[in-house]
Amino acid sequence: MKRKITTIAAVIIALVASVYSANANVKPYKDLNNKEVLFSYVSASILGSDMYNKIMFADDFEYRNTANDDKHDKKSYLKYLKSLKDNKFDCEQTIEILDQTGNTTIGKVTMEFPTFKRVDYVTLVQSEEGWKIKNVTTTYPL
């Protein structure tokens, strides 16, 4: 399962990169669906990819970690993701769409590491520029 999701995420990123690298003014996320944007999020947070991170997140993005009540805005979260570049975490991940109503989607990304589990609840909103990640809330269930 881990390899399937990793392969799918890599294919999506390669597709986005190859299709849109010719024109820098094109909005690469405009034509992606909400699940493809979630795959890109997984690629950034687990596989260390930094491609298109700046445009994946909404300008008013907020990250929240419930374990220590940390909160971060887009700028500081992008800095964190940049620090993960080329790191690959050893975990199995699953991606689910929990709800989609109109231009809002709630997704769930579960990452099972050998000693703990991390669950990210991701809120996406659809704008003129395509689906953007507006909010990520991280939990660590027992």
Q: H helices then E strands: how many in the chain?
A: 4, 6
Contact 139, 66 (CB under 8 A): yes
At 91-113, the pLDDT tens digits run 999 999 999 999 999 999 999 99
What band does 22 get if pLDDT is binned at 50, 70 and 90? very low
Q: What is the DSSP letter of 115?
A: S
User: Could you tell me the pTM of the whole model?
Assistant: 0.77
Task: Walk me through the domains of the chain, giving residue ranges and CATH numbers.
Answer: 2-139 (3.10.450.50)
